[in-house]
Amino acid sequence: MRESVAIYPGSFDPLTLGHDDIIRRSLRLFDRLVIGVAHTATQSKSGLFSVAERVELIREAYADESRVETVAFSGLLVEFARERGARILIRGLRAVSDFEYEFQMALMNRSLWPEIEVLFMTPDTAHTFLSSSLVRQVGRLGGDVSKFVLPLVHGRMTERFAASDGE
Ligand code: PNS
């Protein structure tokens, strides 16, 4: 039987517990999961980690999970998915406010590659308010973000903020 491969794309700056929740749920449904870290606008000034750092961090976070592969990509997501043999595209849906943008993206992606199937998954209610941009902002302002990210990510964020304090 052909193995099922899903793709979970995003900016992941940083990876949050909401992402982790969706990743764990996806692993229950599919044989393999490709996490695609996009080269997007969040690399600008408001960004926290470079794309290479995010990839490294996610690889470390799932080092024990051989079914997870983390890769950076640029260009069209559907092209990247096709190259990786992933026909299932996972996106997390937290609230109604996410819906319009996600729906538009899903239909655009499907019109670009009709074979792709977009699957929306909701994280645990404890994580529905989480977003990377809020975690970045709270962390930058000295708030405690340890309950929003994995300990590994928290450690790396703390180092990053300490390093940028002197700037
Ligand atoms: O975590 P994000 O920032 O909401 O992820 C958005 C992402 C990376 C999935 C989206 O920007 C994307 O797919 N970028 C790749 C370029 C692309 O294919 N754009 C057309 C999407 S309809």
pLDDT score for 167: 55
CB 38 within 8 A of CB 74: yes
Residue range 92-118, pLDDT digits in tens: 999 888 999 999 999 999 999 999 999
Q: How far is the CA of 52 from the centre of ligand 1 (A)?
A: 17
Domain residues for 43? Answer: 5-165
pTM of the model: 0.95
Residue range 116-140, pLDDT digits in tens: 999 999 999 999 999 999 999 999 9
The C-alpha atoms of residue 113 and residue 68 are separated, in whole angstroms, by: 23
Q: How far is the CA of 10 from the centre of ligand 1 (A)?
A: 6
The SS3 assignment for 128 reads: coil
Q: Give the burial string for 48-78 (b: 16+ CB within 10 Å, else e).
A: bbebebbbebbeebbeeeeebbbeebeeebb
Task: Please indicate whether residue 127 is annotated as part of the active site.
Answer: no
Task: Please indicate whether residue 45 is annotated as part of the active site.
Answer: yes
Q: What are the strands of the beta sheet with 5-10, ordered from one edge?
A: 68-73, 32-38, 5-10, 88-92, 117-121
Task: Please indicate whether residue 132 is annotated as part of the active site.
Answer: yes
Number of structural domains (the chain) is 1
Q: How far is the CA of 143 from the centre of ligand 1 (A)?
A: 28
pLDDT score for 43: 53
The C-alpha atoms of residue 89 and residue 119 are separated, in whole angstroms, by: 6
Residues of the chain with pLDDT > 70, as a percent, come to 95
Smallest CA separation from ligand 1 atom 20, residue:
76
Please give the mean pLDDT across all residues of the chain.
94
The C-alpha atoms of residue 16 and residue 135 are separated, in whole angstroms, by: 8
Task: Please indicate whether residue 2 is annotated as part of the active site.
Answer: no
Count CB neighbours of 23 within 10 A. 21
pLDDT score for 41: 61
Calculated CA dihedral for residues 134, 140, 144, 148, nearest 10 degrees: 40
Query: Over 60: is that where the pLDDT of 166 sits?
Result: no
pLDDT score for 40: 75
The C-alpha atoms of residue 123 and residue 98 are separated, in whole angstroms, by: 13
In a 10 Å sphere around its CB, with 0-12 CB exposed, 13-18 middle and 19+ buried, how is residue 159 labelled?
exposed
What CATH code is carried by the domain that includes residue 97?
3.40.50.620
CB distance 18 to ligand 1 below 6 Å: no
Ligand 1 atom closest to Cα of 91? 9
